[in-house]
Chain A
Amino acid sequence: MNILEQYNYWVVVCLMMIGFFIVISHGNLVKKLMGLSVFQTSVFILYISMGKVSGGTAPILDQAYSVFSNPLPHVLILTAIVVGIATTALGLALVVRINEEYGTIEESEIQQKDDREC
């Protein structure tokens, strides 16, 4: 097993974890959503990487080429991107409503306000 061959995947793992860390550790609701989208985008990179064939080309059939990269991960990720933007849009709508009702978009302040109510 050549270590260098997995270099790509390692970087992708780092990217995923940075995104994941932003989601967990930041208290700002918009920032959390950004973290989520970084996390998801990195997973997309993982999928796309696995479909790549060295020396291949984009899977649009043409006489000039004979080696193509695998189209299936591309299709899956197209769907996943759409799911991602749908989630982000809904999340942002929620943030807007939360801001209207609570007057803040910081997790800790919202928690405080809720505790006072209980």
Chain B
Amino acid sequence: MVILGFLVLTAISIALTKDLFASVMLTGIYSLLSASFFVVMDAVDVAFTEASVGAGISTILMLSTLTLTGRYENPARHNTTLGLVVVVITGALLIFGTSDMPSFGDLLAPVQQHVGPYYLNQSYEDIGVPNVVTSVLASYRGFDTFGETVVIFTAGIGVLGLLGFTANGNAQYENTVAPMYQHKILRIVSKVLIPPILLFALYVQFHGDYGPGGGFQAGVIFAAAIILYAMLFGVGSAKKVINQPLIQILSALGVLLYGSVGVVSLLNGKNFLDYSVLASDSVAGQHYGILLIELGVGITVTCVMIIIFFTFAGRIDKKHGVAQ
């Protein structure tokens, strides 16, 4: 439980530091710490995701934002008393609530009694996938995951709607020097590293049935590889590799792929997202279904992450362009 102690320390330092760069880093550390806590708690899939999202993507986005906005926050605080009062009341209520909770790790707690055991005992028979998290995520609660894919798509649309296109508008900034252009060693090392990262992403994508991983994590890793490339070789040259409108269309197609698997079930007279229709054998059908929808998730996540990064980076280019 040392991790929890570190978590508290990190959270307090985030609250205290005035340097926003430092707080971003601390937030990243916070994510990594909670990821390791998740591993201790047996939630390997969650840990994987939290590490790649919290410590990876969200840190990059926050740093990009700070490049645009400035490093230090205004020391003047407001609402401190009100904030304290609200927080203390809420916290007290929660502590009050904990007193009747089933004790931690108890096998007899209600959570472990009802639906949970069904998944653990039946899923292999129903779906034939050893990773129970994947079974629940992709099949039993596949509709939640569909919703989640749409949430990501919505965020992509939102960012595009707010920060607009950077596809062709600023051709003159195409050759903006990448922030890390001077670091020759970094460039060579990463050039060597990017292909394995992409391969790893593919492995994560298709191996989610057996080990931790799946479409979402794969998408994030895939996007991370491209973002790494962009940071080292300049957004301009990365854009040559990645075609913006195409990426947008792909992000939509990912959602549609997921949806159409559901529609196929509908057309076959079964309920939405019932994969058993995809093959003559229902377990095999579940397999195909999970593979397809994970692919849809992977495509959408990769594309949206890339879109978000490039729109932010486009703004940074624009700002530098104006400054020059």
Binding site for B on A (CB under 8 A): 1-2, 5-22, 24-28, 30-31, 33-35, 37-38, 41-42, 44-45, 48-54, 56-62, 67-79, 81-90, 92-97, 99, 105-109
Known: A13-B98, A44-B38, A60-B210. 15 other contacts (CB 8 A): A5-B103, A6-B98, A17-B90, A18-B12, A58-B43, A68-B42, A71-B136, A72-B115, A74-B45, A78-B46, A81-B50, A90-B162, A96-B162, A97-B163, A108-B74
Q: B167 on the interface (CB 8 Å rule)?
A: no
Residues of B close to A51: CB separation below 8 A? 41-43, 111, 116
A30 to B20, CA, bound (A): 8
Residues of B close to A109: CB separation below 8 A? 74
User: B124-168 toward A: CB 8 Å interface, digit per residue (1/0)?
Assistant: 100000111101110001001101100110110011001100000
User: B20-59 toward A: CB 8 Å interface, digit per residue (1/0)?
Assistant: 1001100100110010011001111110011001100110
| With known contacts A2-B103, A30-B20, A92-B65, A15–B8 Cβ distance under 8 A | yes
> Is the pair A21, B83 in contact by a Cβ cutoff of 8 Å?
yes
The 10 closest A-B pairs by CB, nearest first: A86-B155, A5-B103, A54-B105, A24-B83, A28-B73, A25-B83, A69-B42, A70-B116, A59-B132, A17-B91
> Is the pair A52, B42 in contact by a Cβ cutoff of 8 Å?
yes
> Is the pair A68, B120 in contact by a Cβ cutoff of 8 Å?
yes
Count of chain A to chain B residue pairs whose CB atoms are closer than 8 Å in the complex = 293
Residues of A close to B259: CB separation below 8 A? none
> Is the pair A53, B112 in contact by a Cβ cutoff of 8 Å?
yes
Give B214 Cβ to nearest chain A Cβ, in Å.
8
Binding site for A on B (CB under 8 A): 1, 4-5, 7-8, 11-12, 14-15, 20, 23-24, 27, 30-31, 34, 37-38, 41-46, 49-50, 53-54, 57-58, 61-62, 64-66, 68-70, 73-74, 76-80, 82-84, 86-88, 90-91, 94-95, 98-99, 101, 103-107, 109, 111-112, 115-116, 119-120, 123-124, 130-133, 135-137, 141, 144-145, 147-148, 151-152, 154-155, 158-159, 162-163, 210-212, 216, 308, 311-312, 315
Residues of A close to B159: CB separation below 8 A? 89-90, 93
> Is the pair B12, A88 in contact by a Cβ cutoff of 8 Å?
no
A14 to B6, CA, bound (A): 13
> Is the pair B91, A13 in contact by a Cβ cutoff of 8 Å?
yes
Contact of A50 among B31, B111, B154, B211 (CB under 8 A): B111
Contact of B53 among A24, A85, A97 (CB under 8 A): A85
Contact sample, A vs B, 26 pairs, CB 8 Å cutoff: A1-B99, A8-B4, A9-B104, A11-B8, A13-B94, A15-B8, A15-B11, A21-B15, A27-B74, A27-B77, A30-B69, A49-B104, A51-B111, A54-B107, A60-B44, A61-B130, A74-B133, A75-B133, A82-B152, A83-B151, A85-B54, A86-B151, A88-B58, A93-B159, A93-B162, A105-B70
Residues of B close to A78: CB separation below 8 A? 45-46, 49, 133, 137, 148, 216
Contact of B111 among A37, A73, A83 (CB under 8 A): A73
The SS class assigned to the A binding surface is: helix
Residues of A close to B88: CB separation below 8 A? 17
Residues of B close to A7: CB separation below 8 A? 1, 104
Give B75 Cβ to nearest chain A Cβ, in Å.
10
> Is the pair A85, B42 in contact by a Cβ cutoff of 8 Å?
no
A49 to B102, CA, bound (A): 11
Give A98 Cβ to nearest chain B Cβ, in Å.
9
A42 to B87, CA, bound (A): 14
Contact of B74 among A28, A69, A74, A83 (CB under 8 A): A28
Contact of B23 among A2, A12, A34, A56 (CB under 8 A): A34
Give B315 Cβ to nearest chain A Cβ, in Å.
6
Residues of B close to A16: CB separation below 8 A? 91, 94
Chain A residue with minimal CB distance to B56?
A: A85
A78 to B53, CA, bound (A): 11
Contact of B130 among A1, A60, A81, A85 (CB under 8 A): A60
> Is the pair B155, A90 in contact by a Cβ cutoff of 8 Å?
yes
Residues of A close to B53: CB separation below 8 A? 81-82, 84-85
> Is the pair A41, B95 in contact by a Cβ cutoff of 8 Å?
no
